[in-house]
Amino acid sequence: MSHPKYPEKDLQMAFYPSSEISKNVARMLLDSGCVQVRKEEPFRLPSGWASPVYMDCRRLISFPAARRELVKQGLDLLRQRGCLDGIQSIVGAEASGIAFAAWMADELELPLQYVRKQTRGIGHGSQMVGVTPQASRVLLVDDMVAAGTSKVNFLRAITSAGAGVKDLFVIFDYGTFPVEALLAPFGVALHALATWTDVLAVGRDSGHLDAGAVAEIEAFLANPAQWSSVHGGISDMKPVV
């Protein structure tokens, strides 16, 4: 499936569902109040990018019907892509990915682990929590991805623990920053249910987003790197080291 912000040659690392499903997910995100827009002071992401919009997927855990549907749609997408074949456990990313990972693990009757943002514990400590069998294949689950820098940290931790990961699932992908460039060295494919393009289309038609918000998001999506640079953020992704 084509993606509006990445050239065709890069699509091997990013997979999205049908437009109808993506728009339904976008509607759930808007209805749950996950979408935040700033027309004056932009959001500054931990990676250094500036954005006029922010997706707060943490709110979703308080909406049972929405979270059940999102877990179902996520598993359906992963099954269609063959990503669940041979999976031995689900790994949730601290903190917001843990709940969705747990719900997915429960549906699949698989073990669950989670990966911390930082090492903790006695001695050398570990970023991994739970029993991680050596040479096991796992699925990494998080609520969203913006620039992808935190995902690199999680992938390194999983690899260091002796497990392998080929697929990353998120509810929402910004779809604006070069995440695939960061994931490529790990051989990991990104699977998401919706992007800002979907939210813009639904928000504009449904009235969730006013004219000012629509115009700002459109300007951002037209050239995310330039928009970020003009508003005090970075304009290029730092290389993985």
Q: Cα(208)–Cα(202) distance, rounded to whole angstroms? A: 8
With the CA atoms of 30, 33, 39 and 42 taken in that order, what torsion angle do they form, in degrees rounded to the nearest 10?
-110
Q: Is 49 within 8 Å of 66 (Cβ atoms)?
A: no
Residue 146 annotated in ligand binding: yes
Angle in degrees, CA 74, 33, 68, rounded to 5: 30
Residue 130 annotated in ligand binding: no
Q: At 52, list the tokens.
A: 């006029």
Q: At 4, list the tokens.
A: 């509006």
Residue 135 annotated in ligand binding: no
Residue 102 annotated in ligand binding: no
Among 72, 30, 43, 29, smallest CA distance to 227 is for: 43
- Cis check for the bond before 222: say yes or no (omega within 30 of 0): no
Residue 68 annotated in ligand binding: no
What amino acid is encoded at 61 in this protein?
I
Residue 116 annotated in ligand binding: yes
Q: At 191, list the tokens.
A: 């699977």
Residue 143 annotated in ligand binding: yes
Residue 151 annotated in ligand binding: no
Q: Is 220 exposed, middle or buried (0-12, 13-18, 19+ CB in 10 A)?
A: buried
Residue 150 annotated in ligand binding: yes
Residue 179 annotated in ligand binding: no
Q: Cα(8)–Cα(13) distance, rounded to whole angstroms? A: 11
Q: At 172, list the tokens.
A: 């929402």
Among 55, 54, 72, smallest CA distance to 64 is for: 72
Residue 162 annotated in ligand binding: no
Binding-site positions for 5-phospho-alpha-D-ribose 1-diphosphate: 116-117, 142-150
Binding-site positions: 116-117, 142-150
